Structure 1
Amino acid sequence: MNIAVFAITKNGIDQAAKVSRHLQQAGHQVRMFRPARFPGEGEPFTGPVSRVVAKEFYRCQGLVFIMALGIVVRLLAPLIRDKRSDPAVVVMDERGQFVISTLSGHLGGANELAQHLAGALQAVPVITTATDVHGLPAVDVLARKYNLTMEPFTAVKQVNAALVNGEMVTLCSERPLPLTQTPSLRLIPWEDLPATRPQGWLVVITNRVMLLPHEKTLFLRPRNLVAGIGCRKEIAPERVRRALLHALDLARRSPASLRALATVDLRVQERGLQLVAREMGIPLFSFTREQIRSIFAQKPNLHHSSFVQGKIGVGGVCEPVALLAATPQAKLILPKTTWEGVTVALAEESYGWWERDREV
């Protein structure tokens, strides 16, 4: 996690240095900031601290402030956008007595960061989110832990409120996850889902597009799909987008479960591919023809095109690159499909998707 630590007084700088050293030892990337008029560790700044905070707020995944909570509230008020994008914010007093989770407690990980720092520095963690206060599971914490996208996001607050108010929430996961049933959270097997008619909210963990006869449903989408794409030069982004959505529709999979696009290195600079990947907030991977040939050698049943072989030297793009970009155990759930001159194949990672790209 990229973390910025701020202090504005002499005593605060000493505490900030201690916090920074501990976070670095724990594997985080840390930058510490202090006023230039005070000596000590960290990067000196001149002018108002608000300028530095504004820059780091959008760059970092976590911010730690060694100062009064009221000052931090005033600094952050103009910067706060959305709980899905705001960084984790933790506030500590200069003596290191209390560690307060202030912003993005669940999704950003501020609660976890506060508890970690409190344990390491022998301070008292201050956590105020209702589910944590009552020792209840929160769906946004579950989503963060297992790298799940919440759909629709507006339902998250209602599900958490139901848990806090003692209402039963039913959860069903397509893949076996180490989840624990509680008095307010009932777990049911995947095969029981079609006939389920719970009284309250239903939470379903799947990448499938499903029509369930239950209005109060929250889907948690695993990021476990990779789309391999083959295209011509100067392909329009609209055609890439339509072909991708068409493939997902054929496979009955949610776009929210896409974690990456992949293509051959000859096409990775295509504006149409790069723009669609950027719009979806996912990476675009590329592979050499040598890597693609190796997959064809391992999996002779992949679709082979003599036309593509003659054009770029390999017998296909979308199927092999989808498998190359996915985990070794992934399977093609949608073979090569063509839409308006764009080929798309989908690979699905059945397990362990939450561990990929996880930061310390």
Structure 2
Amino acid sequence: MPGMRLSVIAVTRHGAALGRRAAGCLRQQGHPVRLLVPARFRDGTPGEEAFSGPLAGVIAAEFERAQGLVLIMALGIVIRLLAPLVRDKRTDPAVVTLDEKGQFVISTLSGHLGGANDLARSLAAGLGAAAVITTATDVRGRPAVDVLARQYDLAMEPFAAVRTVNAALVNGEPVTFCSQFTLPLPQADGIHRLPWEQLRTGRINGWLVLITNRTIAPPAANTLFLRPRNLVAGIGCRRGIDAQPVREALERALALAGCSPLSLQALATVDLRAEEAALQIVAGERAVPLFSFSRAAIQSVYDRKEHNLNFSHFVYEKIGVGGVCEPVSLLTAPRAVLILPKTSHRGVTVALAEVNSGWWEPARAMPRT
């Protein structure tokens, strides 16, 4: 779990000393860490911050800011302070609790999706402590679909089914996994693997966990979709366009490709349109980044002639390249394949590119160029 933004908070003198050890350990593991201790226990360690206000306010602020909290205090205090803050396991940060002697690292909140179980294990290993994990799937040594979703950046649909499927896995009831993409699917008693090409003909007992970005009718009533976030939508538009045509064009493109909106990983466009409010609004609504690329980078895709891209003389005369939506989608995800070529709707062009593997790797996210 490299790269989690973590806050370590201690409340006693001995807890502050342990906090310094914990922060150092977590930084060595690749996490950016803030260490917060009461002002009277601060000793000048670089990166250490003092707090003097109420502990409840400090934890509430870090709960909103950080991806994970390491709280060195009694578990009862932690529960009371977290109670008014907890909202949704999909968005709540990971929380682990340490006793001030550093004997136990307790996964307290968001064990699976937030990563608290993994955080507890890695921190316990670094401190020589015991990790305390209480989630049933972990205790029983069974796989959990929300762990799989977190590991491979999969959106769960419907989310309400996750608990039921995990319960089935814990209880050894039949669960079938079928994936459109090559993934190391879990292995355990009661878990069946169905090849993608046998989805319509294979026998399914119990729950079906279907890993696909396609909007297909499930062959079983009890189906949990895991949607890989592996689609990039390249978008071209005129200057000053409203957001609604962009929304419609994107929705139309996804429908034409038969793909779920939950699988969108990013939007992309030419640098000349990077500041367009309509594109920024739609990216915000979809909770995905908006990447942009220079005309030189776009031209390089045409020059390589690796893809049979559409070329518009009108667009070339306007901005100096023969197209936007297709090349920018491929620039955003260099290993992607174009699954929907240029489509047009109300002055907006959209193309879709799909990444077949590795979409979950942070290194695949491309910065603006």
TM-score by length of 2: 0.95
Any unmatched runs of 5+ in structure 1?
Answer: none
CA distance in 2 between counterparts of 1:357 and 1:156 reads 28
- Please report how far the alpha carbon of residue 301 of structure 1 lies from its aligned counterpart in structure 2 after TM superposition: 2.4
Match of 1:16 among 13, 19, 27: 19
Question: Are residues 147 and 265 of structure 1, via their aligned partners in 2, closer, same or farther at CA, if it must alter by over 3 Å?
Answer: same
Matches within 5 A, 1:201-220: 201-220=207-226
Equivalent position to 1:87, from 69, 74, 93: 93
Q: 2:71 aligns with which of 59, 65, 77?
A: 65
Out of 302, 307, 312, which is 1:305 matched to?
312
Report deviation, 1:330.
Answer: 1.1
- Choose 178-187 or 279-288, whichever is displaced more: 178-187
Most deviating of 255-264 and 53-62: 53-62
Partner of 1:5: 8
Structure 2 residue ranges without an equivalent (≥5): none
RMSD of Structure 2 on Structure 1 (CA) = 1.3
CA drift of 1:357 comes to 4.5
Pair 1:25 & 2:31 matched = no
Residues 1-360 of structure 1: pairs in structure 2 closer than 5 A: 1-40=4-43, 41=45, 42-299=48-305, 301-326=308-333, 328-357=334-363
The runs of at least 4 aligned residues of structure 1 exceeding 6 Å deviation read none
Indicate the SS of the match to 2:40.
coil
The answer to whether the 8 Å contact 2:42/2:49 transfers is: no
Q: CA deviation digits over 1:311-360, x for unaligned, max 9?
A: 1111111001011111x22110000000111100001111111113489x
1:31 alignment partner AA: R
Shift of 1:184: 2.3
Give the structure-1-normalised TM-score. Answer: 0.97
Structure 1 residues 46-55 or 91-100, which shifts more?
46-55
Aligned residue-pair number: 358
* Cα distance per residue 1:76-121 (max 9 Å; x no partner): 1111111111110000000011110000000010000101111221
Say if 2:199 and 2:219, in contact at 8 Å, map to a contact too. no
Cα distance between partner residues in 1 of 2:93 and 2:134:
17
Q: What SS is found at the alignment partner of 1:118?
A: helix
Using the alignment, how far apart are the partners of 1:249 and 1:197 within structure 2? 29
In structure 1, how many angstroms separate the alpha carbons of the residues matched to 2:249 and 2:348? 6
What per-residue deviation string (whole Å, max 9, x for no partner) do you get for residues 235-292 of structure 1? 1111111100100000001111110000001111111100110111100000011111
In structure 2, the residue corresponding to 1:86 is in which secondary structure?
coil
Secondary structure at the residue paired with 1:354? coil
CA distance in 1, matches of 2:250, 2:139: 43
